[in-house]
């Protein structure tokens, strides 16, 4: 069990008025419309973000002189990017949890220190990630069994892409703070504007200047820097304790430790997902270029489905965190149930549409590759068709984090996600070396992790209830 640490139980003494960011009250407002108001902009923001990658791949596949080769080279890099970036984006989760608890407890001073520490950390980490990615890109790709004929273009794309790592992290930390404050619309506006820039530059660089993988990478990082600047601007305009002032940026020791306590486990968990995906991508690479191209197209489309079922996950952490900070435990189970219901609703609406229109959608990426398209269909029906399990798992994991126990979901993921997938690749795939057999490891690992998370959540909620009752003064 996780050891109790200072700050796990919210302070009973309010020290600042509870902020109501743009009218969204997570502590006392109605839950069903409240979660929807939070989740819908998150979905739209995520879809716009994915449109970056989709635009890259579609423009490459249709307009680049080396079409399918360029598309496959960029596709090789996705899981590696997620691994390196995802490790540190976990700290953004730590920022969200700690700020949500501080806002729920009406501790404005703490929320302000956490905000400025988080943004400072994001900039520092971004520079470090950029350096590692630029220097070691070819080495990492070689470890992933990237085919020799793709290595040069994939390495070039990665090196240009990682020049944008500082902007990527600053934007994601800033957007996480905005959402925790209840402002889910401004990240949507930011991504909408940046997405238009990204698409325009893709066409300019690839069609106009024939820059291929370099062109889409430059378009992406340009959009990322615009997004980062906009996020910082909107943070500086907040009318609550999380308002940003660049002059106040510094690493506050206690707040940094609190962010690390919640964020490092989240980062490790994200990296476990990404590490298992790197292993899966390495196995896919061994299946040949036809399977690789189909898997790349399917994975990009799956991202849209994942965004839909991930939005209730983000809402759950914010709602549970603020209600836990406010010691309003009665709302927590109801918030979790509402978020689970929205997983089903969004899965039916978005993921169902992806499956229904999978043939024309895959055709956007692979207009002249029927064999690769068939591989994409096989993968999508299995993964997208069971994505609601991943959504349930995410909601329960976020609820656990929202109640201050960030280490527990990470420990579960070590066995339930990474462990099961590694064993599957080692012992199941060799007996049936197909893409469908490989991708079956996804729903199997989701079910195992979901069951354990549910047990932990029930036990943790009862413990937190006893702790808060014991800390409350007698009537």
In a domain, 10, yes or no: no
Give the DSSP letter of residue 248.
G
Range of the domain at 268: 31-471
Q: What is the pLDDT of residues 194-206, one digit of tens each?
A: 888 988 999 999 8
Distances, alpha carbon 9 to alpha carbons 5, 104, 332, 402, in Å: 9, 12, 15, 12
* pLDDT score of 57: 79
Number of domains in the chain: 1
* pLDDT score of 406: 82
Q: Which two tokens stand for residue 81?
A: 């990017």
In a domain, 313, yes or no: yes
Interval 412-433 mean pLDDT: 92
In a domain, 428, yes or no: yes
Q: What is the pLDDT of residues 311-331, one digit of tens each?
A: 999 899 889 988 998 889 999
Alpha helix ranges (H) inside 286-413: 289-325, 331-346, 352-356, 358-365, 370-383, 387-402, 407-413
Q: What is the pLDDT of residues 4-50, one digit of tens each?
A: 333 333 333 333 334 443 447 788 878 999 999 888 888 887 777 77
Residue 31 contacts residue 338 (beta carbons within 8 Å) = yes
pLDDT grade, residue 225 (50/70/90)? very high
In a domain, 256, yes or no: yes
Mean pLDDT of the chain: 87
* pLDDT score of 200: 92
pLDDT grade, residue 364 (50/70/90)? confident
pLDDT grade, residue 271 (50/70/90)? confident
Report d(CA 318, CA 324) in Å as an integer: 10
* pLDDT score of 474: 58
Burial of 346 (0-12, 13-18, 19+ CB in 10 A): buried
Highest-confidence segment of 46-60, 113-127, 359-373 = 113-127
Q: Which residue has the higher pLDDT, 472 or 309?
A: 309
In a domain, 438, yes or no: yes
pLDDT of 397 strictly over 60? yes
pTM: 0.74
In a domain, 171, yes or no: yes
pLDDT grade, residue 428 (50/70/90)? very high
In a domain, 109, yes or no: yes
117, 101, 80: which is closest to 323 by C-alpha? 101
Residue 340 contacts residue 395 (beta carbons within 8 Å) = yes
In a domain, 4, yes or no: no
Q: Which residue has the higher pLDDT, 22 or 467?
A: 467
Distances, alpha carbon 361 to alpha carbons 76, 292, 302, 358, in Å: 20, 17, 11, 5
Q: What is the pLDDT of residues 70-126, one digit of tens each?
A: 888 888 887 788 777 877 777 888 888 899 889 888 899 999 999 999 999 999 999
Terminus-to-terminus CA distance in the chain, angstroms? 31
* pLDDT score of 13: 32
Q: What angle do CA 180, 183, 187 make, to 5 degrees?
A: 100
* pLDDT score of 5: 32
Q: What angle do CA 394, 7, 104 make, to 5 degrees?
A: 65
């Amino acid at each position: 069990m996780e050891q109790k640490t200072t700050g796990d139980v919210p302070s009973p003494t309010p020290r600042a008025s509870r902020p109501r960011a743009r009218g969204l009250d997570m502590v006392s407002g109605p839950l069903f419309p409240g979660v929807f108001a939070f989740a819908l902009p998150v979905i739209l923001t995520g879809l716009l973000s994915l449109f970056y990658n989709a635009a890259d791949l579609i423009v490459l596949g249709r307009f680049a002189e080396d079409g399918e080769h360029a598309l496959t080279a960029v596709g090789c890099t996705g899981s590696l990017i997620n691994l390196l970036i995802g490790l540190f984006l976990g700290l953004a989760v730590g920022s969200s949890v700690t700020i949500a608890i501080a806002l729920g407890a009406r501790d404005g001073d703490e929320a302000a220190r956490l905000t400025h520490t988080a943004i400072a950390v994001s900039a520092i980490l971004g520079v470090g990630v950029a350096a590692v990615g630029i220097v070691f890109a070819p080495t990492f790709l070689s470890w992933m069994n990237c085919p020799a004929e793709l290595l040069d273009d994939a390495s070039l794309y990665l090196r240009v892409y990682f020049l944008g790592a500082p902007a990527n992290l600053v934007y994601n930390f800033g957007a996480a703070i905005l959402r925790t404050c209840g402002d889910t619309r401004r990240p949507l506006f930011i991504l909408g504007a940046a997405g238009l820039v990204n698409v325009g530059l893709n066409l300019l660089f690839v069609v106009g200047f024939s820059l291929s993988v370099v062109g889409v990478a430059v378009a992406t990082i340009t959009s990322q820097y615009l997004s980062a600047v906009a996020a910082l601007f909107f943070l500086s305009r907040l009318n609550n304790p999380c308002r940003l002032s660049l002059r106040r940026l510094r690493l506050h020791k206690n707040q940094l430790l609190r962010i690390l306590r919640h964020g490092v486990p989240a980062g490790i968990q994200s990296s476990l997902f990404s590490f298992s995906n790197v292993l899966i991508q390495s196995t896919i690479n061994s299946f040949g270029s036809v399977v690789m191209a189909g898997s790349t197209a399917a994975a990009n489309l799956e991202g849209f489905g994942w965004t839909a079922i991930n939005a209730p996950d983000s809402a759950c952490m914010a709602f549970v965190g603020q209600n836990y900070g406010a010691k309003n435990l009665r709302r927590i189970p109801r918030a979790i149930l509402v978020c689970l219901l929205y997983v089903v609703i969004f899965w039916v609406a978005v993921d169902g549409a992806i499956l229904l229109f999978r043939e024309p959608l895959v055709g956007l990426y692979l207009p002249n590759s029927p064999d690769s398209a068939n591989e994409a269909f096989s993968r999508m029906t299995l993964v997208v068709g069971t994505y609601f399990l991943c959504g349930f798992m995410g909601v329960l994991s976020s609820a656990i984090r929202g109640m201050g126990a960030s280490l527990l979901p990470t420990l579960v993921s070590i066995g339930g996600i990474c462990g099961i997938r590694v064993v599957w690749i080692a012992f199941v795939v060799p007996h049936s070396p197909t893409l469908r057999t490989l991708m079956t490891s996804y729903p199997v690992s989701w079910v195992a992790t979901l069951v354990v998370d549910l047990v932990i959540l029930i036990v943790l909620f009862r413990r937190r209830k006893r702790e808060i009752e014991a800390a409350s003064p007698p009537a």
